Chain A
Amino acid sequence: MLIINCPYCGPRDQSEFSNGGEAHVKRPDGSKEIGDREWGEYVFIRANPKGLFYERWVHTHGCRKWFNCVRDTSTDEILVTYKLYEKKPNLNNFKSVVKTPSGEPEVGSGNFTVEK
């Protein structure tokens, strides 16, 4: 159970929020000609990295506001939340050390946390 810092309300329990998938995905301008591939990628394709990820959340049972965050998908740690119109933070500002391709240690998986 995470605590998420709503940029409008402050830290609240995860159960008040809904996840909205990848952030900063631009909707193609409908007034222009859009190819099948470009539109298909907008509708169906999203990134799913292990590690740092720009993500959208909405404070569903709170202020109903959408906002963005950077979440480390290997640890669930939410590193920063920011308003939609704010500039997206540079991922280099955050440390995420994913050692093996899948993030697990080379042996076993009891020690599955990536080193901070």
Chain B
Amino acid sequence: MKSINLKENQFIQFHQKISFKFDGVKYFGYKGDTIASALLRNNVNLVGRSFKYHRPRGIYTCGIEEPNALVQIISEYSEPNTRATIKKIYEGMEIESQNRWPSLENDFGSINNLFSPIFTAGFYYKTFMGPHKKFWKNLYEPLIRRAAGLGKPPKDFKGISNHIHHNVDITIIGGGLNGLLAAKSFINSNYDVLLIDFEEQLGGIINNSNKISSIDNKEPKDWLKETIQEIEDSKNIKILKNTLVTTYNYINHLIAIEDRFVGSKPIEGKVNSTLHKIRTGHTILCNGHIERFLSFQNNDLPGIMLSSSFEKYMCRYGLAPSKEPVIFSNNSNSNSLVYSLIKAGLKPKAYIDSRSGEEIEPNLFDLIRKNDVPLYTNSQIKGAFGNKKIEKILVEDSSGALNEIKCDCLCLSGGINPDVHLFTQSKGLLDWDEKDLTYKPSKPFQPTITLGSASGQFNFDNLNSDINEKLKTFKVKKLDVKLELNTNAKYNIEKLWEVSPQKKSLWAKSFIDLQNDVTTKDIRQAITEGFDRIEHLKRYTTNSMGTDQGKISSINALGIVSDLLDKKVNEVGTTIYRPPYAPLSFSAIAGRNCYEFYDPERKSPIHNWHLKNGAIFEDVGQWKRPWYFQINKDESMHDAVQRESKNVRENAGILDGSTLGKIEIKGEDALEFMNLIYTNSFTKMKQGSARYALMLGEDGMVKDDGIICKISDQHFIATTTTGGAATVLGCMEEYAQTEWPNLKVFMNSITEQYATFNISGPKTREIMKKAFPNINFSNEEFPFMTFQFHEFNGVPIRILRASFTGELGYEIYIPSNSAPKIWDNIQSVGKEFGLAPYGTEAMHLLRAEKGYIIVGQDTDGSITPIDLGLSWMIGKSKKDFLGKRSLTRSDTIREDRKQLVGIIPSNKTDKLEEGQHIILDKEIKSPVPMLGHITSCYYSPTLGHDFALAVIKNGHSMIGTKAYASTSSMGTTGVDIVKPVFYDEGNKRLVS
């Protein structure tokens, strides 16, 4: 295909040369060129290899519907699957073709084309079945992954995207003739209007074809300029250009992506796309139509192009891809291409129409006659032939005779479809138009209006009345636009979906989906095999499942299927068009919610101290908690945790517990409410005392735990696990509002209002005395599980005597702003007693030695308090509490439930691991009955060996017996099942 430059226009400047590279070769294009138009200008017609058969493919269209010309932009972080037909070139752009190896010209994968008779519909389902499960993982999947697919994923993620929200009355999608007229109606009205167009220049068909000769007696381009100016001057209308609406959600919620670097290289660190989230009162769809292709043998050869696309290259890019293309059509839409060619001083090599001479528009007839264009009416193309490019076609004329025509370009038109994707995404109903042979929008589901060809109005004669009628509800001024055309006003089409090949052959291919390499033969085979429902057929053949969603071909497939099944197209139905309309990158969707902004980070008031003191952090929910503290860079985690744990047992340690959830519960009926929420009974509890409490789900399973402080019957403070705070508060709110609205009770989170320090260890009392000299910490004055309010240097504090480590311990609650000062003070007075900070890992180790559970680690939503051996915490005399009835369900009273036990290795030097299965036999012979698994496991510096907590079937009655823990190397370790308490069973250290 030899292209020729036509005249410059406002979209393309021939004096502004741009150089770019395609597959390593340097070419020149002009400012305004897309990759496709620039390649056509350089007579590069082979641009990619197809998905399955690796067939040579060229540029088929001039827009977003492109199925073939997908390229990888090397100079933009290797962005794959970019449509060459819309991406504009810039100086220094580097582009590569996709899905070929070693090169586009000599592609090894094209051998698939030879084997194509076996790559039929359902090939993957039928072939990669056996003989062994491992074949899929080790052989088939890696092979398919290498051979199939389009581009390669980009190496670095660098794109930056902003999200912008809009709230408007009216959104007009598409700034073509109808979109502009609709916008014009709203000029200076009281409506907030958003006009969105995918292209840089508004105008649509006025720019893309020579169909319209004048508007209001003006040159179309002059009218366009004036109208755009009027709209831009109107204060109530905002225009978004280079913006593609990809998604139409319920309720009138649109997603649109704006390219901020059209025709230039994205600058690193700058926002390169904007995602617009639009909430609109009404949506006016003016997004036009898409031309469809036709199926015949080798309808995928480079050099074959849609006829309206050819015309768009002429009008928009000043470029005729070929000097003498053959045109093959079954409708009136391609008339204007003939007109455009002749106007440009070119001539079609032949005009072939499947319609009869009487059907063909008289003015087209005249044009063809006058210019001596060879005309074939009642004729069809049986096939196109050539090596990596079209060289000749075979035409069957009205007499049935075959004519060979040599050509380098073939323009196709199989009719036009309203672009119904967005309309169906909005859940609008479609209806088949038997005369225009396409699905058209019928009933909208949302406040959606369709105008122009998007609504199926392919004729221009009732342009004014249609817009005036549909915009009536807005009471805007009526339009009276005078339109004159260069070609016929009436759309006419004759049914034609497919031309059968001249010679039957296993290798003859007529494509129905170019991107996914689906042939019409695949459709036939699928139907023969019983996949005659359109949704089944789509999945089985993968028809219209590519990134283009079969924009130029899916209706053709419905036509072919309806003929095969001898049903009406309406009875066949359509498949669902799913969002997005065209692919959009993950970086656009992620917007600024990535890296440090992906999820909020919550930090305790002491965070800066931790940073300065060698803390290594762990994420607990959104919180950053010190995991352990490194005293020097060489200290390993194991050494640090052992040191911290030992120090708590021998001296004293301090933990920043500020992240623990804290909920304040107040109200006349607070006591009754707490009795209903937690398993424990708080009725007899003294004011100023505290209690360890469990919260269950209605299914009886442990959901959270914490310490409840009773200030009075009307006032409680509950702590929750760090990760469970929001859920517990939510649960309390839910029950207070929905189940017990009669209870007068209110609750609120005070997690961030108070910092919490947990100090524990044998020397704690000495440290507390020194830090808070006015408080009596004696066992008599301040017994275990009580709390007191005090004032320290003007700061109100609450001290609770409780412990999660098994040592004497206090928890200090301080308003967050005053916390760092008091923390520093405790550090300095504690020094002489060996006080050192410890992190969550040492805390976990210490609590496990005492057999204290961690909800979510030792429980998994299937463990009851009884399974944990915590029956004593259940207020049995209480009539009701969350999940009470479930504790006596047949399933929860089973004896072989998984129960919490302790595990130690029989040989003390053996190691254990979290997640190991506990089994009965030393030898592993499958199937291995599994008793349960280890939930927590540590090396205890106090015991001098590994120990673990585990949940195992019937565990409570197995205490004192032996079992085995399976190892990752298929071996076993002998273990003793023991009580889940490894340290100070009598709690002497806690209470003294």
Contacts and interface: CB of A to CB of B under 8 A. Distances in A.
Interface stretch (A36-44, A45-53, A89-97): A36-44
Contacts of B572: 107-108
B863 to A, nearest CB: 16
Contacts of B573: 105, 107-111
A64 B880 contact: no
Nearest to A60: B730
Given A40-B889, A42-B698, A111-B573, A66 B881 contact: no
Nearest to A28: B885
Contact of A2 (B251, B577, B879): B251
A38 B359 CA distance: 74
Contacts of B593: none
A111 B279 CA distance: 24
A76 interface: yes
A73 interface: no
Interface string B734-775: 100111010000000000000000000000000000000000
Interface in B550-585: 570-577
Contact of B886 (A43, A85, A109, A113): A43
A39 B889 contact: yes
B212 interface: no
Given A84-B737, A110-B424, A75 B445 contact: yes
Contacts of B443: 115
A75 B251 contact: no
Contacts, number: 90
Contacts of A105: 573
A95 B734 CA distance: 31
Contact of A113 (B445, B570, B734): B445
B880 A31 contact: yes
Contacts of A113: 427-429, 445
B889 A76 contact: no
B889 A66 contact: no
A80 interface: no
A101 to B, nearest CB: 16
A79 interface: no
B251 A66 contact: no
A97 B406 CA distance: 59
Query: Which interface residue of A31, A56, A113 has the most chain B CB atoms within 10 A?
Result: A113
A114 B739 CA distance: 35
Contacts of B879: 30-31
B535 A108 contact: yes
A67 to B, nearest CB: 9
A36 B534 contact: no
Given A34-B885, A43-B698, A60-B730, A110 B737 contact: no
B250 interface: yes
A2 B572 CA distance: 31
A34 B574 CA distance: 52
B553 to A, nearest CB: 16
B107 interface: no
A3 B572 CA distance: 35
Nearest to B443: A115
B737 A66 contact: yes
A44 B889 CA distance: 13
Contacts of B733: 58, 64, 66
A52 B224 CA distance: 49
Contacts of A34: 885
A20 interface: yes
A108 B554 CA distance: 13
B430 interface: yes
B737 A1 contact: no
A108 B574 contact: yes
A27 interface: yes
A116 interface: yes
A27 to B, nearest CB: 5
Interface size class of B (residues with CB under 8 A): 35 or more
A115 to B, nearest CB: 7
Nearest to B735: A27
Contacts of B535: 108-109
Given A30-B880, A84-B738, A110 B885 contact: no
A58 B429 contact: no
Contacts of B884: 30
Contacts of A42: 698
B880 to A, nearest CB: 3
Most A CB within 10 A of own CB, among B249, B534, B573, B734: B573
A43 B699 contact: yes
A111 B741 CA distance: 44
A2 B427 contact: no
Interface residues of A, number: 37
B253 interface: yes
Contact of B534 (A3, A108, A116): A108
A82 to B, nearest CB: 14
Nearest to B736: A66
Nearest to A56: B738
Given A2-B251, A109-B575, A109-B576, A75 B427 contact: yes
Interface string A5-27: 00000000000000010000001
Nearest to A67: B737
A110 B577 contact: yes
B570 to A, nearest CB: 8
Interface string B524-553: 000000000111000000000000000000
Interface in B275-295: 279
A104 B445 CA distance: 15
A88 interface: no
Contacts of B574: 108, 110-111
B734 A20 contact: yes
Contacts of B534: 107-108
A105 B738 CA distance: 38
A36 to B, nearest CB: 6
A106 B535 CA distance: 12
Contacts of B430: 110-111
B250 A2 contact: yes
A30 B885 contact: yes
A112 B739 contact: no
A40 B885 CA distance: 9
A43 B427 CA distance: 35
B59 to A, nearest CB: 29
B890 interface: yes
Given A36-B890, A113-B427, A113-B445, A84 B251 contact: no
Contacts of A75: 250, 427, 445
A66 B699 CA distance: 22
Contacts of A85: 741
Nearest to A105: B573
B428 to A, nearest CB: 7
Contact of A1 (B250, B424, B577, B890): B250
B721 to A, nearest CB: 20
Contacts of B699: 43-44
Contacts of A58: 730, 733-734
Interface in B705-746: 730, 733-734, 737-739, 741
Contacts of B577: 110
A76 B533 CA distance: 26
A36 B445 CA distance: 45
Nearest to A107: B573
B683 to A, nearest CB: 15
6 contacts: A31-B880, A66-B733, A75-B427, A108-B573, A109-B575, A111-B430
Given A39-B886, A109-B575, 17 more contacts: A1-B249, A20-B734, A30-B879, A36-B889, A44-B699, A64-B733, A75-B445, A77-B250, A84-B737, A107-B534, A108-B534, A108-B535, A108-B574, A110-B576, A111-B429, A111-B430, A113-B428
Interface of B: 249-251, 253, 279, 424, 427-430, 439, 443, 445, 533-535, 570-577, 698-699, 730, 733-734, 737-739, 741, 879-881, 884-886, 889-890
- Per CB-CB distance, the 10 closest pairs between chain A and chain B, nearest first, are A108-B573, A30-B880, A110-B574, A107-B573, A31-B879, A1-B253, A113-B427, A66-B737, A39-B885, A111-B429
